Amino acid sequence: MAKVKIAQYWGAGCGGCDVALLDIDEKILGLAEIADIAFWPIAVDAKLKDVEAMPDKSITLTLYNGAVRNSENEHVAKLLRQKSAIMVSFGSCACFGGIPGLANVTNKKDLQDYVYNKTFTSVNPQHTIPQPKWDGPEGELELPVMYDTVLTLEDVVDVDYFMPGCPPTTDQINEFLGIVTKHLTEGAPLPPKGAVLASQKTLCDECGRTKEVTTIDKINMPYEIAIDPKKCMLEQGVICLGPATRAGCGAKCLEANQPCRGCMGPTAAVLDQGGSMLSALASIFRTADNETQLTEDEILELMTQIKDPLGTFYAFTMPKSIIKRKVKEKKAVKQ
Amino acid sequence: MSTQQGTSPAAVTATTEGQFEPKIIAFCCNWCSYAGADLAGVSRLQMPTNFLVLRAMCSARVDPEFVLRAFAKGADGVLVLGCHPADCHYIGGNYRTRRRIALLKMLLEQYGLDPDRLHLEWVSASEGVKFQSTIKDFTEKIREMGPNPLKEAEEESARVKGESHH
């Protein structure tokens, strides 16, 4: 069998997904046996012009990680799509925008202004901000154009498979590579296009903690209480995104006594992970004894215990959420 | 993971040139508020026609996702109407609703929307007049607020994205 070609690229990400691929231990040797690396900036030296010279669809498999934040991310995503037979949206940033996607609470102008002018350590008397083009004595220099809004990979190219996770676990990667290998060697079928390479259930299904179906009065930050490692996080008042999150990670965070933050994204049945979590969390609050006497303002007061709903419920999925980014009312919102 | 969001709701009202006519989605619970709306109707109570009623079995059936989708599809305001506290057909559905709506208002504010674009009101089956006044007041409030900024943001992001390609 001729060796297959794989590529991995990082857009707006942290590099953790690249490391996750190396993290498949000795199986990386098996991967090297069946595959050549066509393009993987973090690991091997290759230039974009090498990729441009490849025939279309000649890369068997591209694992694209990171969100689409600037024109370069989009350009490489489109180039790799053209050159690849299978395009995988690899990791939470590519699938849903991930942590970089939370930048959608602001915009390019405010973000650059903050970073270059307003942080405590910014010394920038001329208020210099990077420009996409600069005419210097050496000739014209170019930088990628940063976008106002963080996008997901699916927003710019056709995606075959989605592998969520921050980063995807070794098991997820091995399972998928096994499927691809079997497809190439024995002609076994690939998953249907658009499949999410994880479980179809919610994380609670994988979590081993016991649930007593109790209600809560108070939200606890993880550092405020001694968390019982056997009991449901939510029932201890710790915000855990398990009920709104797709399973497939093996509930690793919960095994380490940490609440789920939702990196696997929404479950198959919903579009908006934050909406599901909001619904679940609001429902476990206890009905007060004087409930009928409470006003809506008093209920709002109770719910303000949750300090940052957007950042908590959409920690990994803001660009893929229904509303996608922050907007601005024409008339000032009265506080 | 394709995002099947369905088709856009039909225009609730015809927009006359230059004048903003709000589009309002009113979720009504089957047991109280929908009957209240019905009573307002058969009593011939006059009210603006900018709203579209969607019946849910309970106000707690109104998933936050429904509200978010209404806004994303261009609704300028969303009303959630349910049974008064202690009157819920399912005993405690409205207690969940009021917590969700409070949290959802906080979320909408973080998204930059005026949280008052979402309004929760208790309307019983006998309160046709309250249904009428709720619709009247809310329509006026939304008219003052102006169009849902998400509509413009969408056009703007399409424009910016188009520019960056040249």
**Largest Cα–Cα separation, chain B:** 61
Contact A322 B115 (CB under 8 A): no
The domain segmentation of chain A, as residue ranges, is 4-99+149-186, 104-148, 203-320
Greater model confidence, A221 or B161 = A221
pLDDT at residue B5, as a whole number = 42
Q: How far is CA A237 from the centre of its chain?
A: 25
Contact A306 B3 (CB under 8 A): no
Instruction: Enumerate the β-bridge partners of residue A181.
Output: none
Q: Where are the beta strands (DSSP E) in chain A?
A: 4-10, 35-39, 59-65, 68-70, 84-90, 133-136, 139-142, 146-151, 161-163
Query: How far apart, in whole angstroms, are the C-alpha atoms of residue A333 and residue A323?
Result: 18
Q: Which two tokens stand for residue B121?
A: 């009101």
Query: How far apart, in whole angstroms, are the C-alpha atoms of residue A140 and residue B65?
Result: 48
CB atoms within 10 A of CB A131: 11
Identify which of A272, A273, A266, A271 has the alpha carbon closest to the alpha carbon of residue A200. Answer: A266
Condensed to tens digits (0 to 9), the pLDDT of residues A286-309 reads 999 999 999 999 999 999 999 999
Condensed to tens digits (0 to 9), the pLDDT of residues A234-275 reads 999 999 999 999 999 999 999 999 999 999 999 999 999 999
DSSP string, A114-174: IIIIISTT---TT-----SEEEETTEEEE-PPEEEEEE-HHHHS--SEEE-SSS--HHHHH
Identify which of A102, A99, A120, A118 has the alpha carbon closest to the alpha carbon of residue A110. Answer: A118
pLDDT range class, residue A232, cuts 50, 70, 90: very high
- Rank A23-27, A40-44, A229-233, B11-15 by mean pLDDT and report only the highest: A229-233
Query: How far apart, in whole angstroms, are the C-alpha atoms of residue A252 and residue A169?
Result: 10
pLDDT at residue A307, as a whole number = 94
**In the predicted structure, residue A335 carries a pLDDT above the cut 90:** no
Residue ranges of domains in chain B, CATH in brackets: 24-164 (3.40.50)
**Low-confidence residues of chain B, pLDDT below 50?**
1-15, 166
**In the predicted structure, residue A31 carries a pLDDT above the cut 70:** yes
User: Among A49-58, A132-141, A269-278, B36-45, where is mean pLDDT lowest?
Assistant: A132-141
Give the contacts of A157 (CB within 8 A, at least 6 positions apart): A77, A78, A81, A87
pLDDT at residue B155, as a whole number = 74
Nearest to B103 among A95, A309, A321 (CB): A309
Nearest to B111 among A281, A287, A327 (CB): A327
pLDDT at residue A332, as a whole number = 65
Contact, A309 vs B107, CB < 8 A? yes
- Model pTM score: 0.91
Tokens 């008064």 identify what position?
A: B84
Nearest to A148 among B5, B85, B157 (CB): B157
H or E stretch at B134: helix B128-145
Residues A195, A201, A206, A207, CA torsion sign: positive
Contact A272 B68 (CB under 8 A): yes
> Which residues of A are less than 8 Å from B106 in CB distance?
300, 303-304, 306, 309
pLDDT at residue A236, as a whole number = 96
Condensed to tens digits (0 to 9), the pLDDT of residues A68-106 reads 999 999 999 999 999 999 999 999 999 999 999 999 999
Cβ of A143 under 8 Å from any chain B Cβ? no
Contact A329 B86 (CB under 8 A): no
pLDDT range class, residue A43, cuts 50, 70, 90: confident
Q: Which two tokens stand for residue A40?
A: 């993987």
Instruction: Enumerate the β-bridge partners of residue B26.
Output: B53, B79
CATH code of the domain occupying A4-99+149-186? 3.40.50.700
Nearest CA in chain B to A314: B107
> Which residues of B are less than 8 Å from A330 in CB distance?
146-147, 149
